Structure formats: structure tokens, C-alpha cells
């Protein structure tokens, strides 16, 4: 409310300003995206594959927009290398990976153990291990398994859990962490 040259701020006006700010600052998908906001106007993914010898170090999001060419590069990198099959990786999963990496405050790239899996690859892995889910989110392009040399499974697991954005599995004996954009849940030892 303004009267002449004097400005009076009402409680309702102040609450309205805070509400507008909260709406602008609210994460669009998950808490993972919220963690990434502190990283500025870019999101970056750094990974390598010991299986294929390939690596990816790309900025995939700038100022609120995903970069289609970078996403294609990520999709190819996270393909099922056994069958050379590519599927679009859910951007929520990519955001969770990037947010966890940012929380760990490392420059070392993740080692990708498993990204997308075809149904046939998943069935083969399931026949070898009871720890492979029949309806794995890997088959939908919504999950990944990673490790870092400089961080323990516990450290990666805790960072991923802090994102509260999907499923997080701790596989200490196999030295990797599973992250997905499914229902928020945790498991493992």
C-alpha cells in the first residue's frame, strides 16, 4: 500500500512476496534438482566405463534447459554395451547422479558399472544373481550403478540418500551404489 511518498509494507504483502519467491525456487521434479541449483546454471555429468573404455564429461543442462545433443551422448554412453542397445536415460536419473556427485564434492568421474539394460541382458544377469530385480528400472533407462575410487560405498550411498529423489541401494561387497528415479526407498548392506 503506497500513500504519497511513504511506502507501507503490510503483512499480507510480505507473505505474498515470500510465497512468490518460494514458487520460483521450488524444485521442478525432485530434491536432486534442488541440490543442483547451488551449482549455478549448469549441470554436468562425468563418468567413464571400465567395460568399454569410453568416458563422458558433458554439460547437459544450462539455465533451465536440457541440451539434446548432450543427452544423446549420455544415452549412448549408458547403453547396454552387451547388445549395443541405446535407450533414453530418464533425465531425473541423470539429475540424481549429478546431484550426488556435487554433494560428494569430487572432480573424479564416476565409474559406470551398469546403465540401461535390455530385457535379455537383465534376464541373463538375473540368472547369475538373485540380487538382480526381475522388473529392474535399468530396463526402463531409470537406473544406474556407480562407484568412485576416492569415496567409499557408504559415502556415495549417504549422498544419494540425502537427495531423497529415488531408490538407493548399497552394495558394499560388490563396491557400488545403485541410484534410480523410482520410488524413494533404500536397501543394502
The grid cell for 113 is 558399472
Q: What pLDDT score does 11 carry?
A: 42
Q: Which residues, including other chains, have CB under 8 Å from residue 186's CB and lie 6 or more apart?
A: 157, 161, 167, 168, 169, 170
Torsion of CA 114, 119, 124, 129, to 10 degrees: 60
Model confidence band, residue 40 (pLDDT cutoffs 50, 70, 90): low
Q: What pLDDT score does 33 carry?
A: 54
Among candidate residues 118, 122, 93, 112, the one with its CA nearest the CA of residue 177: 112
Q: How far apart are CA 96 and CA 84, in angstroms?
A: 24
The neighbouring-strand residues paired with 114 are: 145
Residue 188: pLDDT over 70: yes
Model confidence band, residue 9 (pLDDT cutoffs 50, 70, 90): very low
The grid cell for 37 is 541449483
Place of cell 549429478: 98
Q: How far apart are CA 161 and CA 20, in angstroms?
A: 29
Angle at 157 between CA 151 and CA 159, to 5 degrees: 80
Model confidence band, residue 189 (pLDDT cutoffs 50, 70, 90): confident
Task: Average the pLDDT over each of 26-30, 85-89, 109-113 and give the range with the smallest value.
Answer: 26-30
% of the chain with per-residue pLDDT over 70: 79
Residue 171: pLDDT over 90: yes
Q: Which residues, including other chains, have CB under 8 Å from residue 120's CB and lie 6 or more apart?
A: 83
Q: What pLDDT score does 25 carry?
A: 36
Model confidence band, residue 7 (pLDDT cutoffs 50, 70, 90): very low
Q: What pLDDT score does 129 carry?
A: 84
Q: What is the mean pLDDT of the chain?
A: 84
Domains located in the chain, CATH noted: 28-188 (3.30.1380.10)
Place of cell 528415479: 181
* DSSP-derived 3-state class of residue 1: coil
Residue 12: pLDDT over 70: no
Q: How far apart are CA 99 and CA 104, in angstroms?
A: 9
Amino acid at each position: 500500500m503506497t500513500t504519497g511518498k511513504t511506502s507501507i509494507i503490510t503483512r499480507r504483502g510480505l507473505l505474498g512476496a515470500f510465497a512468490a519467491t518460494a514458487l520460483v525456487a521450488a524444485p521442478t521434479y525432485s530434491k536432486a534438482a534442488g541440490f543442483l541449483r547451488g551449482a549455478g546454471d549448469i549441470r554436468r555429468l562425468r563418468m567413464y566405463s571400465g567395460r568399454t573404455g569410453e568416458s563422458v564429461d558433458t554439460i547437459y543442462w544450462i539455465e533451465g534447459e536440457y541440451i539434446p545433443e548432450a543427452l544423446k551422448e549420455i544415452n549412448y554412453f549408458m547403453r547396454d554395451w552387451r547388445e549395443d542397445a541405446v535407450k533414453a536415460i530418464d533425465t531425473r536419473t541423470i539429475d540424481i547422479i549429478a546431484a550426488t556427485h556435487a554433494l560428494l564434492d569430487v572432480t573424479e568421474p564416476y565409474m559406470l558399472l551398469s546403465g540401461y539394460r535390455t530385457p535379455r541382458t537383465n534376464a541373463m544377469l538375473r540368472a547369475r544373481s538373485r540380487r538382480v530385480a526381475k522388473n529392474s528400472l535399468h530396463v526402463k533407462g531409470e537406473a544406474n550403478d556407480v562407484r568412485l575410487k576416492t569415496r567409499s560405498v557408504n559415502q556415495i550411498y549417504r549422498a544419494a540418500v540425502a537427495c531423497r529423489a529415488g531408490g538407493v541401494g548399497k552394495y558394499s561387497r560388490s563396491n557400488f551404489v545403485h541410484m534410480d528415479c523410482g520410488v524413494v526407498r533404500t536397501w543394502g548392506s
